[in-house]
Amino acid sequence: MLARVPKRPTLQDVADAVGLAPATVSYALRGERGSDETVARVRAAAARLGYEVNPIAAALASGRSRTVAVLCGSTRDLWQQSLVAALARELMNRGWHAIVADADGHPEREDALLAQLRAQRPAGLLVAPLDPFAEQWEAVASQLPLVAIGDRLSRAPSAGAVVFDNASGVAAVFDHLAELGHRRVAVVLPRRPSTPDRPAERLVAREAKRCRMSVDLVRTPPATADRGEMTAHLAAALAPGPAGTDSPDRPTAAFCLTDSFAFGVLRAARSLDLEVPRDLSVVGFEDVDFADLAGPGLTTVDWGRDAVVGAAVGQLLTALESGRGLEVRTIAPRLVVRGTTGPAPTRR
Amino acid sequence: MLARVPKRPTLQDVADAVGLAPATVSYALRGERGSDETVARVRAAAARLGYEVNPIAAALASGRSRTVAVLCGSTRDLWQQSLVAALARELMNRGWHAIVADADGHPEREDALLAQLRAQRPAGLLVAPLDPFAEQWEAVASQLPLVAIGDRLSRAPSAGAVVFDNASGVAAVFDHLAELGHRRVAVVLPRRPSTPDRPAERLVAREAKRCRMSVDLVRTPPATADRGEMTAHLAAALAPGPAGTDSPDRPTAAFCLTDSFAFGVLRAARSLDLEVPRDLSVVGFEDVDFADLAGPGLTTVDWGRDAVVGAAVGQLLTALESGRGLEVRTIAPRLVVRGTTGPAPTRR
DNA sequence: ATCCCCTAGTGAAGCGCTTCACGCGACTGC
DNA sequence: GCAGTCGCGTGAAGCGCTTCACTAGGGGAT
């Protein structure tokens, strides 16, 4: 038989202890009303009794809670995994709670998940890379403060966002590759059937033109448990053309819009017997904590996870606590040159 | 001005719709009572109205919730990060919610975090690697179903656990290294001042003896944002001794009890100009999703994250839903040989 | 001295659900 | 035919908090 759970003190207990009404105690603890002296007495009594408000009761009574829902596209993606962990940590540190969900790579599940999350009556919502074009966001954002991370939600003007200055990031990458003499670069991006003409592609096209480079667009299936498919796909895209032609008849650099893809390219390169960076330069576009952990270190565009998390959580909580409005903030990325980029192989 | 949030239907609304008492509806929706016909009618009405129970009100009234708190030592640890993400996903898929917190590497914060989590009145608790010897677990486990992951909580007999059969994992590693001719191995483990004589160390000592190998115990600071400290520490431990002595006067293999440490060793090796696996073999002891992502692929002991998550969540929810007791389950690890281990360098 | 307003504090009504204790009719067994 | 059961359904009491509407008293302005 389990020991009985010791009963926690309630607001009423504190009220009895100080000889005031529960309402007074409630106001005092939140510092909303009451004389300084009363507030002090109430706080002291609460501390003495070990009282803590029951957030569930508070949420029911007020219709609000100190809980934020975090929804992301897939925690199998390394960047998102690290992002979600950091978001949860930051929320916790600020005295809030996170309930997290991920669509696990199935965008069609988003609706159901969102409903499931909202059933918990979160005070706000943080959404990490999902389909930013979906119509639903408009309805959601009009009811619940929402901050998107990575992309502004084009259909939801009232939502806040923390976006990356992709233009400068992409420009930095192309400059870097151009300097190293690369003239043909594979751009690896996710295969997203639903959103044609993505800004990222236009950006890439523009920068490539500026640097006078040709681009192979490689649309890649997402990282699943079985990475074989992704690797094979990338290997096919990076393999040299028919023998006898000018070597290398293939991109000499790969620019991956996700670090997972970059790791995929590294695997593909190994399977093709291409040495990095001698035969192939590889650039990522995130900065998972461990991009520099293994091998020669991945050259990558660092999105500054901590800055992003700070901006997103800070913005949301400020809006929640002081009613200020949400806005779109831009975080400037930084190119981190490590070991996977080098001079383009010279033609023999 | 925001559009008004459409009022959600309540239990009362459903009751009115079917002409029954709220109590009846409540029982019917949970399938606890009522004739089949009534249950069907109630369910139909609920579906028609788009009714969903308000989990907050339910939690307040019943003192229980479909929420599980997940507490871990540090989501900066790659394994734990991936574990937490998988736990949250699994819980969500089963219709439960996760609220997560991590001590961020500060065991002394655990108490406060636990209090913060428990204030949310979770139905159960999932704790990933933290100090399993702490006394507090006893009190916690006696009040709240708790499943530990990675270590059985020695002070809390009523807690469930999913543990790894470390003995067979460690044995496999030593066999593997012995077969490759290694005679001196560095064992890299976390620096945990408070828990002397850890079983892991005894295990290592026993297996080393069995395989007639000598061991350098390397206690390493945890992976912080600045990985320099860790790398330097490891480099010092792996550097050859004074020149002129029998070469290599250093461990020829490193066995890391955490994959983060393995990546640290890889960095240290690079800084020492040791080639892996020619000069130094490296074995990890986890299997973060991406141990095979970069470089030659890390030889590692695979803890089978999905099996672990399934066992932990399954056990906890079964206990919660059907009142069955908790138990200690053991997951057998698997040695995955990849590219970071090879024959010991021969003495010149 | 009068009026008004402002502040501190309070009573009571919920928030939306669960659950206890009970009424009622139908069924069983003798 | 009658007490004892059993299953269905219900009224009402909370769970612990917030918040509205209000009272009482203490200035300041007039």
A156 and A104 together in one domain: yes
Which residue in A127, A78, A129 sits closest to A288, CA to CA? A78
Q: Do A52 and B84 touch (CB under 8 A)?
A: no
Closest-CA distance, B210 to chain A, in angstroms, reads: 32
Report d(CA B188, CA B176) in Å as an integer: 17
B213 and B151 together in one domain: no
Closest-CA distance, B212 to chain A, in angstroms, reads: 31
Instruction: Give a yes or no: residue B309 inside a domain.
Output: yes
Instruction: Give a yes or no: residue A104 inside a domain.
Output: yes
The residue ranges of chain B whose pLDDT is under 50 are 1-5, 194, 244-246, 348
B73 and B186 together in one domain: no
Distance B171 CA to D4 C1' (A): 67
Encode burial over B92-107: b for 16+ CB neighbours within 10 A, e otherwise.
beeebbbbbbbbbbeb
Instruction: Give a yes or no: residue B251 inside a domain.
Output: yes
Distance B37 CA to C23 C1' (A): 21
Which tokens belong to A60? 């029911």
Question: Residue A347 pLDDT more than 60?
Answer: no
Report d(CA A203, CA B7) in Å as an integer: 44
| Confidence label for A311 from pLDDT (cuts 50, 70 and 90) | very high
Choose from A81, A87, A293 for mutation: most chain B CBs within 10 A: A293
The residue in chain A having the minimum alpha-carbon distance to the alpha carbon of residue B122 is A56
Closest partner residue to A52 (CB to CB) among B113, B119, B227 is B119
Closest-CA distance, B244 to chain A, in angstroms, reads: 30
Give chain B's domain count: 3
Protein contacts of strand D with Cβ less than 7 Å away: A 7-8, 10-12, 22-23, 26-27, 29-30, 51, 53-54, 57-58, 60-62, 64; B 20-24, 27-28, 33-35, 37-38, 57, 60-61, 63
Report d(CA A149, CA A126) in Å as an integer: 7
Q: Which of A53, A85, A101 is the last residue of a domain?
A: A53
Ramachandran bin of A260, using left for φ above 0, alpha for ψ from -120 to 50, beta for the remaining angles:
alpha
- Those of residues 327-346 in B touching chain A at CB distance below 8 A are none
Chain A residue numbers touching B109 (CB-CB < 8 A): none
Q: Is B92 at the interface with chain A, CB within 8 A?
A: yes
Closest partner residue to A85 (CB to CB) among B81, B89, B115 is B81
B244 and B154 together in one domain: no
Choose from A77, A109, A273, A290 for mutation: most chain B CBs within 10 A: A290
Instruction: Give a yes or no: residue B182 inside a domain.
Output: yes
Instruction: Give a yes or no: residue B344 inside a domain.
Output: no
Q: Do A121 and B54 touch (CB under 8 A)?
A: yes
Q: Is A75 at the interface with chain B, CB within 8 A?
A: yes
Instruction: Provide the pLDDT for residue B348.
Output: 45
Nucleotides of D under 7 A from a protein CB: 7-12, 14-21
Instruction: Give a yes or no: residue B104 inside a domain.
Output: yes
Measured in whole angstroms, the distance separating CA B206 from the mean position of its chain's CA atoms is 26
Percentage of chain A lying above the pLDDT 70 cut: 89
Q: Do B86 and A75 touch (CB under 8 A)?
A: yes
Per-residue pLDDT reduced to its tens digit, A75-89: 777 788 888 989 998
A192 and A254 together in one domain: yes
| Confidence label for A223 from pLDDT (cuts 50, 70 and 90) | low
Chain B residue numbers touching A323 (CB-CB < 8 A): none
Instruction: Provide the pLDDT for residue A348.
Output: 45
Q: Is B100 at the interface with chain A, CB within 8 A?
A: yes
Report d(CA B189, CA A10) in Å as an integer: 45
A258 and A298 together in one domain: yes
Percentage of chain A lying above the pLDDT 90 cut: 25
Closest partner residue to A60 (CB to CB) among B60, B82, B99 is B60
- Those of residues 43-62 in B touching chain A at CB distance below 8 A are 52, 54-57, 59-60
A175 and A134 together in one domain: no
Instruction: Give a yes or no: residue B1 inside a domain.
Output: no
Instruction: Provide the pLDDT for residue A70.
Output: 92
Q: Euclidean distance between the first and final Cα of chain A, in Å?
A: 80
Evaluate whether A242 touches A254 at the Cβ level (below 8 Å). no
Instruction: Provide the pLDDT for residue A257.
Output: 82
Phi then psi for residue A330, to 5 deg, are -115, 130
Question: Residue A248 pLDDT more than 70?
Answer: no
A201 and A123 together in one domain: no
Q: What's the domain range around A180?
A: 166-303
Q: Is B158 at the interface with chain A, CB within 8 A?
A: yes
Instruction: Give a yes or no: residue B337 inside a domain.
Output: no
- Those of residues 183-212 in B touching chain A at CB distance below 8 A are none
A139 and A219 together in one domain: no
Instruction: Provide the pLDDT for residue A2.
Output: 34
Report d(CA B126, CA B146) in Å as an integer: 6
A241 and A94 together in one domain: no
Q: Is A146 at the interface with chain B, CB within 8 A?
A: no
The domain spanning residue B277 has which CATH number? 3.40.50.2300
A49-53, A307-311, B340-344, range with the lowest pLDDT: B340-344
Name the residue closest to the C1' of D16 by its CA: A57
Q: Is B224 at the interface with chain A, CB within 8 A?
A: no
A181 and A161 together in one domain: no
B242 and B225 together in one domain: yes
Report d(CA A67, CA A117) in Å as an integer: 11
